[in-house]
Structure 1
Amino acid sequence: MTTLSTAPADLDALADSYDEQGYVLVKGLLTKEEAAEYRARSHELISSLDRGDDPTWSSASDVAMGQKTSLQHLHDAQFYDAAFTRLLTDPRFTSVAAAVMRTPNVQLHHTKMFIKPPENGSPFPPHQDYPFFPHRNDSVGAAIFHFDDAPDLKGCVRVAPGSHKEGPREHDPAGSYHLPDFPTDQLVPMEAEAGDVLFFTYFTVHSSGVNMSDEARTTWLVQYRDPADRPLTDQHKESLGQGLILAGTDPTGRAEQA
């Protein structure tokens, strides 16, 4: 497991590790106090904006403790709470995103908040993010902010190191694109603490397990890209805030925006 800080001297090594492994887990990007505050804000938002929908994939048929699994989510938290807007442009985050893409420019694609409830929080089967929003230059990556501890018992993210090197894979379109035959023994648990952030490419195969613990698991997913990269399809075009520059500039002058 690669764990590096965001100190300037580490950024080149961090980018090299991202290129080689397809991911990097940055420890303590947020303080414990900051993570706790974001956790509280996340749960308040989910509670106040609960629309009753459950984003659990139909291909995730796991049942925990005799119950059907469930999941809570919220798209675009930055449009409901300015704290999340500030986090999007926090240099601690954008410096890593810029480093792993090897560009000073970082552009928002979309965000999603996920809360896995205690005892039966839904899993995600192995998949790549690529099929959902393919891009011309494949710069797209994800950052998962952990607002509370995420041991394997809580259904932490699991990644397949080096899996990004094979490029796009054929996904099963049934049950929300996934990889039903991917060897699960290649997936390594990315156990994390509150404040840690996991970065990975959109070619990196990843999954997560059922939250079997007695506490919720709270994360915020931020998908980012190089603004010079262009989407190949109209998928996710409706995401609020897509195209927002988080660091640097847009060298295209917003030409040919999807």
Structure 2
Amino acid sequence: MTDPSMVRFYEENGYVLVKGLLTKAESRAYRDECHAVLARLRPADPTWGSARELAGGPTELRHCHDAQFYSAAFARLMVDPRFTDVAAALMGSENVQLHHTKIFVKPAEKGSPFPMHQDAAHFPHTRHTVGAAIFHFDDAPEDKGCVRVVPGSHRNGPLPHIEEGGWHLPLSEWPLDAAVPVPAEAGDVLFFTYLTVHGSGINRADEARTTLLIQFRDPEDRPAGDVHRSRGQGMMLRGFDPTDGDARGLRP
């Protein structure tokens, strides 16, 4: 059962770090799986242009969309009750639906930062139930570019973003260094709402930072536009889809 204080903290601050959701051994296995998947794929660097401006020099990022289509390990993790039960409690819904997944690896010494932004700018929804879970498969202290958040920023609703060089908030108004760092250990999972302003710093350490992102929503929360479609989007991770009958024309 999810601790009620965890839910209250999430509702007030827009994020919560769940310690030790995975064991250290599980984290090492998932870390190895992430790097094995990326080794099989053609290298691609999704670093935003504004991120390099923020870094003041060249940086790198490795990533993979829809991780569950490349390894069954991630398909199993997506429906693990340790994850889905927390997601359901934080959303206040018994039903948890997939939006998308991504592997992110920040290489050692020059892993790309992310300027401050809201995920809502990339895939707005009508009821704003969308949440994110970042699984840490190795330690993420500040020098490895851990996630930074602005507590309570979710209460401001959707904010205007800058499209040039990425899709982020104005750098001068939302400096990365002013945000609260959320260092994590292998096995920890950071949950936050898609309205929470967040970003992450440069990985300056001598080890890569390896994470898996799972974005989820209440199935009754509909997209506000036809954007950011992903393979497997709409898969139920917990419970059922109450809108399924309507979609198929099975209800009067």
Task: Report what 2:67 is aligned to.
Answer: 77
Q: Distance in 2 between matches of 1:256 and 1:137?
A: 18
Contact persistence 2:116–2:198 (CA under 8 A): yes
1:166 to 1:86, Cα distance in 2 relative to 1, 3 A: same
Corresponding position: 1:30 with 2:8: no
Matched AA of 2:92: R
- Give 1:199 deviation, angstroms: 0.2
Corresponding position: 1:192 with 2:177: no
User: Which of 186, 192, 195 is the aligned partner of 1:203?
Assistant: 195
Q: Taking structure 2 as the reference length, what is the TM-score of the superposition?
A: 0.94
Task: Report what 1:140 is aligned to.
Answer: 130
- Give 1:190 deviation, angstroms: 0.6
User: Which of 218, 238, 241 is the aligned partner of 1:250?
Assistant: 241
Task: Report what 1:105 is aligned to.
Answer: 95
User: Which of 173, 180, 189 is the aligned partner of 2:163?
Assistant: 173
Contact persistence 2:97–2:237 (CA under 8 A): yes
Task: Report what 2:45 is aligned to.
Answer: 54
- Give 1:145 deviation, angstroms: 0.2
Contact persistence 2:114–2:200 (CA under 8 A): yes
Matched AA of 2:234: G
Corresponding position: 1:220 with 2:219: no
1:9 to 1:208, Cα distance in 2 relative to 1, 3 A: closer
3-state SS in 2 of match to 1:59: helix
Contact persistence 1:67–1:120 (CA under 8 A): no
User: Which of 87, 90, 96 is the aligned partner of 2:77?
Assistant: 87
Q: Taking structure 1 as the reference length, what is the TM-score of the superposition?
A: 0.92
1:151 to 1:228, Cα distance in 2 relative to 1, 3 A: same
Contact persistence 1:172–1:179 (CA under 8 A): yes
Matched AA of 1:133: F
- Give 1:14 deviation, angstroms: 1.5
Matched AA of 1:53: A
Contact persistence 2:2–2:89 (CA under 8 A): no
Q: Distance in 1 between matches of 2:195 and 2:246?
A: 26
Contact persistence 1:123–1:211 (CA under 8 A): yes
Q: Distance in 2 between matches of 1:97 and 1:199?
A: 8
Matched AA of 1:127: H
Q: Distance in 1 between matches of 2:82 and 2:243?
A: 25
Corresponding position: 1:153 with 2:168: no
Q: In the comparison of the two structures, how many residue pairs are matched?
A: 246
Identity %: 61
Matched AA of 1:245: M
1:48 to 1:16, Cα distance in 2 relative to 1, 3 A: same
- Give 1:63 deviation, angstroms: 7.5
Q: Which runs of 4+ in 1 moved over 2 A?
A: 183-186, 254-257
Contiguous gaps of at least 5 residues in structure 2: none
Contact persistence 1:158–1:189 (CA under 8 A): yes
